[in-house]
Amino acid sequence: MAGSAENVVETGNAAGRAATGRAAARQAVPRVELRSLDTLWFQVAGTLCNLACNHCFISCSPTNHTHEYLSLEEVQRYLDEAVQLGVKEYYFTGGEPFLNPDMEAILEATLKLGPATVLTNGLLLDPERCARLAAIAQASEYSFDLRISIDGYDAEGNDPIRGPGTFDRILEGAQNAQRAGVNPVLTVTEVREENGSRRGREKFMALLRELGIERPRLKILPVFHLGAEAQRSGAYEAWQKLADQDAAGEGWDHLQCSSCRMVTDQGVWVCPILVNEPEGRMGQTLADTLDSFPLEHPACWTCHVHGVSCRT
């Protein structure tokens, strides 16, 4: 019996050490403080999109109902709270925002409060819609930006990622916006290695000038190995995690999550990247999400290493 007791004690000690080790590991995860809620995002189209790009980090498609549309009434409730919390700018993404029948009304309501940006694939930017967007923008004292996504400076580079024929349709949408008086920002991911190179940037800027855009604007973003992209090129490696020492004594204020939150139909998430990750959900209201957040997801590593900001 004495031997059994010793085994029990040893087993208990081992369990205690394991629990201590797990607790230490949790404590070792760096946390980012929300310094101020400057930027509010809305997953206004949920995960519904008219495309199914094979690098989409949240696998948006015409059949993905993980998140649904936000109505004007839902958005307005968060806008009211945002004003009380001092939010300075607003972003709308999806999915494809212009699938949402309330999108233009939502934009009009938002531009009464602050600058707004819509992230779109450009396929629904017909001349009539662009004229309405321009009129909404001109009626506001705040700025309006339209970010149009594309993944190659020619069809050979873009269409294998976004779908056959999309290159020409995207350019048509960008041109419609320009002609209506809305200068679009071309947003490109580094899904193709050349996209972020000097030559790639020059090619994209030249493409914008060919469209008649005299003041071309370009934003380059890295790919996140989540969703469809994880299936296409592989998921994150085990070593791609942040530790306290990665901040090099400078803290984490360079990360967008130190000043933003993301609204979906299911509550408020920490950022636009983690909306398909359950641990990214922080609460139901903006007030629920003002606490710090653990930087334990590999996508946090991407933001830190590449200096990512989804803001324009």
pTM: 0.89
pLDDT of residue 25: 45
**Percentage, residues of the chain above pLDDT 90:** 85
Q: Label residue 13 by pLDDT band (50, 70, 90).
A: low
In tens, the pLDDT along 71-129 reads: 999 999 999 999 999 999 999 999 999 999 999 999 999 999 999 999 999 999 999 99
Region of poorest pLDDT, from 21-25, 142-146, 163-167, 203-207: 21-25
What is the structure's pLDDT at 168? 97
Q: Regarding predicted confidence, which is higher, 96 or 212?
A: 96
Percentage of residues in the chain with pLDDT exceeding 70? Answer: 91
Q: Which CATH code is given to the segment(s) 32-306? A: 3.20.20.70
Check whether 22 has a pLDDT greater than 50: no
**In the structure encoding, which two tokens stand for residue 26, read together?**
């949790």
Give the Cα separation of 287 and 274 in Å (integer): 19
**pLDDT exceeds cutoff 70 at 24:** no
Check: CB of residue 116 under 8 Å from CB of residue 142.
Answer: yes
- Mean pLDDT of all residues in the chain? 91
Q: Where are the domains of the chain?
A: 32-306
Q: Are 74 and 93 in contact (CB under 8 A)?
A: no
